[in-house]
Chain A
C-alpha cells in the first residue's frame, strides 16, 4: 500500500501540515523540542512565538527536553492491515527525526507476535512442523480463540509429528473457551476434516460434560454430515444419532450448498424415504451452478424409479446417458421396459440400434439379456444367442445362461446346448430342471420368482406390485423383500419382510432371516436376528451372497488380502460362481500369485470361453512375454 505508507510518513514527519488544518490539536512541536535539546535558545524563542501566533490556544509544553510523544494511531492502522513492513518503515522514518524512538511496549509486543506468527505460517507451508512447534512453545499467544488459524496450524503440526492427543487437546480447549458462536462454528467446521467426525463428536461430548452449554446443537451439522457421509461410503459403519440426523436434515436451508443437499438425498434413499430423497436431489440439481453433477442426476433417476415413476426416470436417464457410467447403465436398465409386452412391441429399428449401442458401450448384462430375449421371441435366434453369450461375458445371470442354452438348442446344436447346460448348472442349480426337448423349454414358474432369480429386481418388483394392489400375501412380501435387497433398498426390504411375518412357520422363518439380512445391509447389525432358526442351506445361500458382495466391494477398494479371505470364506459355503472366480483370479494376480491366477483363468476359459476369460488369458500371456 504505497499510498497509505506515503501519507503516514508525511503525517509523522511533517505533522505541521495537519496542525494548520486543526489549530491547537496535534501542533508539531518537533522543531521546538529539537532547539531546546540542542540549546538553540534564540531559535527556541522564535519557534515559540511562531507557534503561539499560529495557535493562540496552544499551551507550550513544560518539559521540552524529551521528544514529543506522538500519536501511534497510524501505526496501529498499518498493523491492523497486516502491513508490518510499512510499520517498520514508519518507525525508521520517525527515528530519523528522533533518534532512539521506540514504539509503545504494547505495539512492540504485538509486532513481535505478528512476526513470529508469520514465520510460523511460512514454516507450516514449507512442511516444517518442528519449526512450527518450536515457535509455538516460545510464544504461547499463538494459540487461542483470538487466533484460530494459528491454533489450527499448531494442531496440524502436532498431528504431523504423530501426537494426535495434543492436536485434540487444542481443539478441545478452543471448543471450551471460544465464546463467539461463529468461532465455535469454525472450530467444529475445521475439526471434522482434521480429526474426523467421530473424534470431533467425542470432543464435543467431553466438553459438554464439563460445560453443558459450551457447544450448542446448531454447530453440530458438520459432525452429523461427516458421520452420514462415512456411513454411506462404508456399509456397516454406525451412523450418527437419528435425532442429530433429523436436525441436520431439517436445518438444510435454501442456502445449503448443492453437495450437502445431495448427500442428504443419498441418506434419505438409504433410509427408504424416496419422496424426500427426490425433493433433496432436485434441490441439489437446482442449486448447482451449470449442469448438475451426474451423481445428483443419478439420485433423481433412482428416486423416481423407486417411486414407481419409471417413465420420468427413463427420460432423465436417457437425457444424461453419456454423462456417467451409472447413468448410462440406468438408461439401458430402465429402457428394457420398452421391449417388454405380450406380444412384444415392434420397435423402430433406430431405437433398437441405439439401445444395442448403449448396451455394448456400458457392457450391460441386463441390456444384453433384454436384447437376447427380444431377438429370441422374434425368431432371430442367432442374434439372440450372440447377445446372451456377450452378456455372459460381462456378468453372468440365470436369465442369460438359460437364454444361451435355449438359443443354442434352437439353432440345432443340441450337444453344445447340453454341454453349456452342464457348465452353467454349477452356478445356477435350478437350470438342471431344464429339459432340452424338441421344442423350447418352459420352466413353469412364477414370473416374479423368475425375475428375482434372473436378478431382474425391478421386473420382480413390478410383478409383485401389480398383483398386490389389494393387499400383499406373506410369500409375496418376502419375495418383494429380496427384490428390494437386490436393489439396495434395505430399509424398505426390512419393512417388506416384516409384512411377511404373518405367514406359515416356514415363511415366518424366512421373513425373519430376510429381515436380518436387510438390517445388516442397512448398517444396523444390532437389529439382525442371530438366533439360528433358519434352515442351514438357506442360511448358507444368504451368507454366501453377502460374502460375495463384500468380496466385490473389497476388490473395488483394492484390499486384495481381504478379498481373498472373503472368497475363501464364501467357498466354504457355496460353489464359486463364474464372476467370483474371475475376481479370485484377478485378486491372486494383484497379490503376485501369477501362476495360481493363470490356472484359474485357464480353467474358466476351458469350461466356457468368453471375452472376459480370453482377455484374462491374453493378459497372462503378455505378462509371461515381458518376463515379469
Chain B
C-alpha cells in the first residue's frame, strides 16, 4: 500500500505546445483532457491488454493506477480505451465483493500476492465508472460504481472523534489491528469523487465523509510547515503520525492539494500549507523538522502546488506543465489530473 518510488535520476521532459482544451470546461460531456496528452499517457503507461504500468515501481500495477487511467480515459472521452482498462481491472483485480485487489506484480509467481484492497483505488475506479455512465449511458458502469461505492461506505468508513473517516483498506488499520488504530491516510480522501459516488449510492451521507477528511487535515498539522504525515493515527481522539511509518509528507501526500482544489475546497486556511514558496521547493518533507528529505524534480509534482496557487492567487499554470512528453507514471498522471481539475474548476488558470 505504501508507495515506494525509486529515486531515479531526473528525467527532464521535452516540453510540448500549450494545451488546446482551454474554454471547453463548462460543457458537461466536454473533452476535458487534450486527446494528444491522453494518447501520450496511454502510449507510455498502458499495456495492450489494458494494464496500467507503474514504470517507477518495477512495472507493477495497482488499483490506483487503473482508477487514474479509467478517469483520464473518461475525461478524454475515449470509450474504447475505457473499456479496455475496465475489462482488465474487472477481470484481473476484481474481488468477489466488487472492490479491487490493490497490487498486481507480473514478476511474482502469484501476481496478486496480497488480497487486501486500497480504498483510494476503489474510489477512483467507482468515480471513473460514474463518469463513464454519464458520458456513454451504459447502466452496467453505473451498477458497478454503485456496488463499489456501497462497499466503501459500509465497510471502509468508521466513526471517530473527528467524524466519519475513510479506512485505508479492509484489513490492517482499525483499532483491533493496531494499538494506535484507527490509522488513516489523508491522501485517500478523493474529495471530487464523493458527490459523484453519492449520485449512485445516495442512501449514505457522503458529505460526512468529506467533512471527516477535512477534520483530519486540520488536526494533522505537524512540525513547522504544518503538513500532514502520510499515515495518521487517530487513537484517543487526537491526530499523530502513525507508528511504524516514516513521518514524512511523502509521495502519497503530495496529491492532497490536488484533491482539495478539485473538490471545491477554497478555504485558504486549509490550502495554505500546501502552497510552495520560494523556500519550499517540491519535495518530500520530514514533518518534524520541515526539512526537504528528498526533492521532487519531475514537473508533475510542481503541478500540485501550481493548482493551489491557481485556486488561491489565480496564478496561471506554467506552460511547462502542459506538454505531451511523459516521464514517470506517477508525476505524469498527477500532471494530467491537474489539467482536468483546472479545466473543471478554474479554467481561467489554463
Contact = CB atoms under 8 A, between A and B. Distances in A.
Interface of A: 254-255, 282-283, 285-288, 290-292, 296-297, 300, 312, 315-316, 319-320
Interface stretch (B171-179, B195-203, B253-261, B292-300): B195-203
Contact of B202 (A254, A255, A283, A291): A291
A316 B202 contact: no
B46 interface: no
Contact of B203 (A254, A255, A287, A297): A297
26 contacts: A254-B139, A254-B143, A282-B150, A282-B203, A283-B143, A283-B146, A285-B146, A285-B202, A286-B143, A286-B146, A286-B200, A286-B201, A287-B142, A288-B202, A290-B202, A291-B198, A292-B203, A300-B203, A312-B154, A315-B204, A316-B203, A316-B204, A319-B203, A319-B205, A319-B208, A320-B205
Nearest to B207: A319
A355 to B, nearest CB: 14
A291 B205 CA distance: 10
A71 B220 CA distance: 83
Contacts of A287: 142
A296 B201 CA distance: 12
A255 B137 CA distance: 11
Nearest to B147: A282
A312 B203 CA distance: 11
Contacts of B198: 291
Contacts of B201: 282, 285-286
Given A285-B202, A286-B201, A315 B139 contact: no
Contacts of A312: 154
Top-3 shortest CB links A-B: A254-B139, A319-B205, A286-B146
B139 A285 contact: no
B144 to A, nearest CB: 10
Contacts of B203: 282, 285, 292, 296-297, 300, 316, 319-320
Nearest to A309: B154
A287 B204 CA distance: 15
Nearest to B204: A319
B140 interface: yes
A300 B203 CA distance: 8
Interface string B134-178: 000001101100100010011000000000000000000000000
A291 B228 CA distance: 34
Contact of B139 (A255, A288, A290, A300): A255
A312 B151 CA distance: 10
Interface of B is mostly: helix
Interface of B: 139-140, 142-143, 146, 150, 153-154, 198, 200-205, 208
Contacts of B150: 282
A283 B203 CA distance: 11
Given A315-B154, A319-B205, A319-B208, 8 more contacts: A254-B139, A282-B146, A282-B150, A285-B201, A286-B200, A288-B202, A315-B204, A320-B205
A452 to B, nearest CB: 30
A201 B88 CA distance: 48
A301 to B, nearest CB: 8
A190 B259 CA distance: 50
Contact of A292 (B153, B202, B205): B202
A311 to B, nearest CB: 8
B55 to A, nearest CB: 36
Nearest to B138: A254
B205 to A, nearest CB: 4
A224 B298 CA distance: 63
A561 B205 CA distance: 45
A316 B202 CA distance: 10
A312 B150 CA distance: 10
Nearest to B198: A291
Nearest to B146: A286
A296 B204 CA distance: 12
A286 B153 CA distance: 14
A576 to B, nearest CB: 40
B99 to A, nearest CB: 16
A253 B200 CA distance: 17
A112 B200 CA distance: 52
A282 B142 CA distance: 12
Contacts of A283: 143, 146
Contacts of A291: 198, 202
A297 B150 CA distance: 13
Contacts of A300: 203
Contacts of A254: 139-140, 143
B98 to A, nearest CB: 12
Contacts of A296: 203
Contacts of B205: 319-320
A431 to B, nearest CB: 39
Nearest to A290: B202
A320 B206 CA distance: 11
A287 B202 CA distance: 10
Contacts of A290: 202
Contacts of B202: 285, 288, 290-292
Nearest to A304: B154
B215 to A, nearest CB: 15
A283 B142 CA distance: 10
B155 to A, nearest CB: 8
Contacts of B146: 282-283, 285-286
A211 to B, nearest CB: 36
Nearest to B133: A286
Contacts of B143: 254, 283, 286
Which of B140, B203, B204 has the largest count of A CB atoms less than 10 A from its CB?
B203
Given A297-B203, A300-B203, A286 B154 contact: no
Contacts of A286: 142-143, 146, 200-201
Contacts of B208: 319
A497 to B, nearest CB: 33
Nearest to A285: B203
Contacts of A288: 202
Contacts of A285: 146, 201-203
Contacts of A297: 203
Contacts of A315: 153-154, 204
A149 B204 CA distance: 43
A358 B154 CA distance: 23
Nearest to A351: B159
A494 B100 CA distance: 40
A292 to B, nearest CB: 5
A303 to B, nearest CB: 11
A282 B200 CA distance: 9
Contacts of B204: 315-316, 319
A316 to B, nearest CB: 5
A282 B202 CA distance: 10
B15 to A, nearest CB: 44
A288 B205 CA distance: 15
Contacts of A255: 139
Contacts of B153: 315
A282 B150 CA distance: 9
A437 B143 CA distance: 62
A318 to B, nearest CB: 8
A288 B208 CA distance: 21
Nearest to B150: A282
Nearest to B149: A286
Nearest to A318: B205
A288 B146 CA distance: 12
Nearest to B145: A286
A453 B202 CA distance: 37
Which of A283, A288, A291, A315 has the largest count of B CB atoms less than 10 A from its CB?
A315
A108 to B, nearest CB: 47
A293 to B, nearest CB: 10
B259 to A, nearest CB: 23
A287 B140 CA distance: 12
A314 B150 CA distance: 14
B194 to A, nearest CB: 13
A285 to B, nearest CB: 5
Nearest to A296: B203
